[in-house]
């Protein structure tokens, strides 16, 4: 039985040519996976290694002269704590609001009875295909008083047509009889939403949540455009400024203490500062990512089926 | 407002759906209990309809606050396009700015130096988008290669590892690029330690091959992620097609060419159309972080140019004018592509 089943699989028959192909295939895929991940590994081992060894380019495979001084230095840098707090806050608040709005609007747009439903649905979806552009957007935000305001990180991202389409399509695949039964029992629209539909939407909402959280965490452009107040800088923006100014930071660290040989090994070099900040910024994603991968792969597939 | 007298309610209902029933009941000659029953039925339906209408409007009110946000953040900025017709120099308000008509649009083409810059920016935009479109088949190949692996754990690991770069920001990509390819970076260290080179190669601070480098970074970041769609597509292919191909004596490569690839074409086509309609929208994050004094000529795509002009040089009106043209051309492109798609495939992409 098993054999019959296997012979169906396109990968089963093994001529010598195919075996060579298999080997090449595996080598090619492994190589690309290595190229995709080694840089992360390189950053981590170098940020933990003796800085003089790291500067000499000797740390390529494993940590040499383990120490945590770089992290102490970087976490103590001006603005680091504030930026981390801003990034966490915008990720949490932004994701929560986006998920709630996507679920709510996605559901409401399935309600046939809504006044001019299809018009309003299009009214929202069309915004996916055009935008006014960067400068008009900036002027509008400025006129709305949202520049140098935390809420500019969150509010424009709340209603996202793509997420709404995803949720709406998903809800439409749930049998309508469930909602009807609840309505017969006297539930109103909002009760149906909260008690019946919302709990069933978990997989698609998880996808939306991940996209939104990653987007919020990674966003860099909005800080660049809307913020001049350093108290509102996000971690990504701070990283960008550190990459460009790392040598001056390292110098100020060196100048601030008495330098001796032992300290020199752990004193921050520009490279060490850059790498350490990078690791701090990327770490949350690397931790969260493997757990949620199956969700967004599923979510992407939902999108793909839709076309 | 519809709670006032039934007559009013019925009259207003005449305009739509249930109203015809009322009209019929009224126009029928009055005779006996059957008619009264019909009238009662009609009134009930009208009431139900009235309720439905109110209910429908209430549903609308429930989403209205969010629609207001759409207006604020998507539609209101469109009115910002008027800044393109003024000489707007903050902090002077628009009402006191001078109306200059199409001056900014003319300026783009009048001045020779400006025209040259715009030309270069368009060239860069077209080159980067073009290269992306030319390499858009790579995720398909990657997905097919990955699908050929039988060991599920290996497949999963490769997929997880190759999609990881998609989830980091361009700033981090730049940080990685710096660690790897700057003149003191890992690659130069390695090459020098091996005595292959004596002078560090300037991977980042040079104008050479900027387009190619940007393409490669884009592929590094997006290839694994891009293949997920196609993997989903492959998973959806009917196994009977493969069986039939095997019965016909097709080997593995023939099966790929005659079954897998044709089956993936619709997905590929949709994504290709989308990337064509996004031809002018390269985004700016990638180019902004990689931009420096050496490569700025070759890296400045339209989005980055708008930023550099508008925010960097503080010419908000000129920036708006360019933004506006870009948005209009993008929408036109989308409509053309959508029309083409409808003509050739019968289905639009929008």
3-state secondary structure labels for all residues of chain A: CHHHHHHHCCCCCCCHHHHHHHHHHHHHHHHHHHHHHHHHHHHHHHHHCCHHHHHCCCCCCCCCCCCCHHHHHHHCCCCHHHHHHHHHHHHHHHHHHHHHHHHHHHHHCCCCCCCCHHHHHHHHHHHHCCCCCHHHHHHHHHHCCCCCCCHHHHHHHCCCHHHHHHHHHHHHCCCHHHHHHHHHCCCCHHHHHHHHHHHHCHHHHHHHHHHHHHHHHHCCHHHHHHCCCHHHCCHHHHHHHHHHHHHHHHHHHHHHCCCCHHHHHHCCCHHHHHHHHHHHHHHHHHHHHHHHHHHHHHHHHHHHHHC
CB contact under 8 A, B150 and A158: no
Higher-scoring residue by pLDDT: B135, B315: B135
By Cβ distance, the residue of A113, A135, A278 closest to B316 is: A135
Return d(Cα A281, Cα A87) in angstroms, integer: 10
Q: How far apart are CA A231 and CA A244, in angstroms?
A: 19
Task: Work out the minimum CA distance from A278 to partner chain B, whole angstroms.
Answer: 6
Comparing CA positions, the residue from B18, B102, B100 lying closest to residue B53 is B18
Residue-by-residue DSSP string for B126-166: HHHHHHHHHTTTHHHHHHHHHHT---HHHHHHHHHHHHGGG
Q: Whole-angstrom Cα distance, residue B315 to residue A245?
A: 27
Option in A30, A140, A275 nearest B80 (CB): A140
What pLDDT is recorded for position A294?
73
Which two tokens mark B34? 């059957």
CA B11 distance to own-chain centroid: 46
Nearest chain B Cα distance for residue A71, angstroms: 17
Longest dimension (CA), chain A: 80
Distance CA A82, CA A233 (A): 8
Task: Give exposure, A96-132, as e/b (b: 16+ Cβ within 10 Å).
Answer: ebbbebbbbbbbbbbbeebbebeebbebbbebebebb
Cα–Cα distance measured from residue B33 to residue B31, given in angstroms and rounded to the nearest whole number: 7
d(CA B319, CA B307): 7
Task: Report pLDDT digits (tens) over A136-161.
Answer: 999 899 989 999 999 999 999 999 99
Q: What is the pLDDT of residue A2?
A: 40
Residues in CB range of B93: below 8 A, 6 or more apart: none
Cα gap B203→B213, rounded to integer Å: 9
- Taking the Cβ of residue B336 and every Cβ of chain A, the question of whether any pair is shorter than 8 Å is answered with no
pLDDT of A260 strictly over 60: no
Measured in angstroms, the CA of A262 and the nearest CA of chain B are apart by: 23
CA distance A288 to A88: 14
Model confidence pLDDT, tens digit, residues B57-69: 888 998 999 999 9
Give yes or no for a contact between B280 and B125, defined as CB atoms under 8 angstroms apart. yes
Q: Which of A289-293, B52-56, B71-75, B163-167 has the lowest mean pLDDT?
A: A289-293
Nearest-Cα distance to chain B for A226, in Å, is 10
A33 pLDDT exceeds 50? yes
Q: List, as ranges, residues 206-245 from B with C-beta within 8 Å of A.
A: 220, 223-224, 228-229, 232-233, 235-236, 239, 242-243
User: How confident is the model over B247-270, as pLDDT tens digits?
Assistant: 998 888 889 999 999 999 988 988
Residue B150 vs residue A256, higher pLDDT: B150
ipTM of the complex: 0.84
What residue spans define the domains of chain A?
16-77+245-304, 80-230
Its CATH class, for the domain covering B112-345, is mainly alpha
**Residue A130: predicted pLDDT:** 81
Query: How far apart (Å, rounded) are the C-alpha atoms in residues A238 and B290?
Result: 16
Higher pLDDT, B45 or B78: B78
> Can you give the residue ranges of every domain in chain B?
38-83, 112-345
Residues of B in contact with A35 (CB under 8 A): 220
Overall size of chain A counted in residues: 307
Q: Check whether A265 has a pLDDT greater than 60.
A: no
**Testing the interface with B: which of A97, A139, A285 to mutate, by most B Cβ within 10 A?**
A139
Of A180-194, A287-301, B16-30, the poorest mean pLDDT is in B16-30
pLDDT of residue A1: 38
Lookup: tokens for B137: 């088949």
Distance CA B174, CA A277 (A): 13
Superfamily of domain A80-230: MetI-like (1.10.3720.10)
Measured over the CA atoms of residue A202, residue A203, residue A205 and residue A209, the dihedral's sign is: positive
């Amino acid at each position: 039985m098993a054999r019959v089943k296997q012979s169906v699989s396109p990968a089963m028959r093994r001529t010598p040519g195919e075996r060579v192909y298999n080997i090449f295939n595996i080598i090619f895929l492994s190589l690309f996976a290595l190229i995709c991940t080694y840089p992360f590994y390189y950053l981590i081992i170098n940020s933990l290694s003796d800085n003089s060894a790291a500067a000499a380019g000797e740390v390529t495979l494993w940590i040499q002269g383990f120490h945590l001084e770089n992290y102490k230095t970087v976490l103590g840098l001006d603005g680091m704590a504030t930026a981390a707090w801003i990034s966490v806050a915008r990720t949490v608040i932004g994701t929560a609001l986006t998920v709630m709005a996507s679920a709510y609007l996605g559901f409401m747009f399935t309600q046939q009875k809504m006044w001019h439903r299809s018009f309003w649905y299009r009214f929202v979806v069309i915004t996916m295909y055009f935008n006014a552009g960067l400068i008009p957007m900036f002027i509008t935000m400025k006129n709305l008083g949202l520049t140098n305001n935390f809420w500019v990180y969150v509010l424009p991202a709340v209603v996202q047509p793509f997420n709404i389409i995803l949720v709406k399509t998903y809800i439409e695949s749930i049998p309508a009889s469930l909602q009807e039964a609840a309505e017969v029992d006297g539930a109103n629209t909002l009760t149906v939403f909260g008690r019946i539909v919302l709990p069933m939407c978990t997989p698609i909402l998880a996808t939306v949540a991940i996209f939104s959280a990653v987007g919020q965490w990674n966003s860099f452009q909005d800080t660049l455009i809307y913020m001049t107040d350093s108290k509102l800088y996000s971690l990504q923006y701070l990283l960008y400024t550190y990459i460009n100014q790392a040598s001056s930071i390292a110098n100020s660290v060196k100048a601030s203490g008495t330098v001796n040989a032992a300290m020199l090994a752990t004193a921050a070099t520009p490279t060490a500062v850059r790498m350490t900040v990078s690791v701090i910024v990327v770490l949350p994603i690397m931790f969260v990512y493997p757990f949620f991968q199956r969700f967004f792969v599923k979510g992407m597939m939902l999108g793909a089926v839709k076309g | 407002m519809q709670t006032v007298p039934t007559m009013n309610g019925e009259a207003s209902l005449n305009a739509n759906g249930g109203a015809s029933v009322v009209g019929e009941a009224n126009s029928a000659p009055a005779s006996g209990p059957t008619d009264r029953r019909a009238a009662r039925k009609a009134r009930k339906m009208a009431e139900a309809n009235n309720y439905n209408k109110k209910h429908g409007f209430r549903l609308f009110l429930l989403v209205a606050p969010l629609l207001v946000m759409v207006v604020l953040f998507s539609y209101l900025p469109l009115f910002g396009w008027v800044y393109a017709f003024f000489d707007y120099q903050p902090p002077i308000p628009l009402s006191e700015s001078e109306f200059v008509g199409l001056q900014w649009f003319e300026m783009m083409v009048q001045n020779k130096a400006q025209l040259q810059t715009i030309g270069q920016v368009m060239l860069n935009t077209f080159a980067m988008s073009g290269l992306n479109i030319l390499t858009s088949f790579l995720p398909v190949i990657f997905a097919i290669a990955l699908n050929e692996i039988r060991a599920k754990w290996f497949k999963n690991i490769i997929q997880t590892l190759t999609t990881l770069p998609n989830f980091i920001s361009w700033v981090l990509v730049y940080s990685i690029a710096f660690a790897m390819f700057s003149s003191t970076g890992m690659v130069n260290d390695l090459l020098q330690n091996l005595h292959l080179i004596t002078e560090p190669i300037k991977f980042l601070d040079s104008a050479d091959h900027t387009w190619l480098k940007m393409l490669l970074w884009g592929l590094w970041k997006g290839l694994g992620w891009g293949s997920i769609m196609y993997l989903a597509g492959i998973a959806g292919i009917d196994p009977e097609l493969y069986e039939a191909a095997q019965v016909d004596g097709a080997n593995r490569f023939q099966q790929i060419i005659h079954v897998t690839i044709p089956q993936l074409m619709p997905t590929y086509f949709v994504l290709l159309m989308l990337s064509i309609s996004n031809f002018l929208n390269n985004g700016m994050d990638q180019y902004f972080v990689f931009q420096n004094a050496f490569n700025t000529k070759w890296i400045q795509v339209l989005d980055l140019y708008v930023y550099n002009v508008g925010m960097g040089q503080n010419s908000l009106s000129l920036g708006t004018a360019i933004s506006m043209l870009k948005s209009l051309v993008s929408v036109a492109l989308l409509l053309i592509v959508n029309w083409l798609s409808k003509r050739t495939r019968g289905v639009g992409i929008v």
